[in-house]
Amino acid sequence: MKKLLIEERKYYHIYNRGNNGDNIFYSNENYYYLKLYDKYIEPLADTFAWVLLKKHFHILVYIKKIDEINKEKLSYSTTKTPKK
């Protein structure tokens, strides 16, 4: 199968839901998802709309042009130090 690439200067509707309709957000603390979203997605895309519901979420983003991406803010690790 050929993988589709995300293209710059395009809009994307990103969505997902829990397996078998299960919750993906169980409590307010689970909404740390937005902090991770800000860390990993914000440098690459402008967010126009989002909604987080207990069982699913929707996000509308516009992928920035390559020269608009702040490469200093790019970070791909969720831990400060590698786990052994």
pLDDT tens for each residue of 11-59: 999 999 999 989 988 888 777 888 888 888 888 999 999 999 999 999 9
Chain-centroid distance, C-alpha 28 = 18
**What average pLDDT does this structure show over 5-15?**
92
Q: Is residue 17 part of a domain?
A: yes
Chain-centroid distance, C-alpha 49 = 12
Q: How many domains does the chain have?
A: 1
pLDDT > 70? residue 6 = yes
Q: Is residue 72 part of a domain?
A: no
Q: For residue 33, which of 46, 43, 24 has the smallest C-alpha distance?
A: 24
Q: Is residue 34 part of a domain?
A: yes
Whole domain around residue 20: which residue ranges? 11-66
Predicted confidence at residue 65, as pLDDT, reads: 92
Predicted confidence at residue 73, as pLDDT, reads: 75
Q: Is residue 82 part of a domain?
A: no
pLDDT tens for each residue of 59-80: 999 999 988 887 777 766 666 6
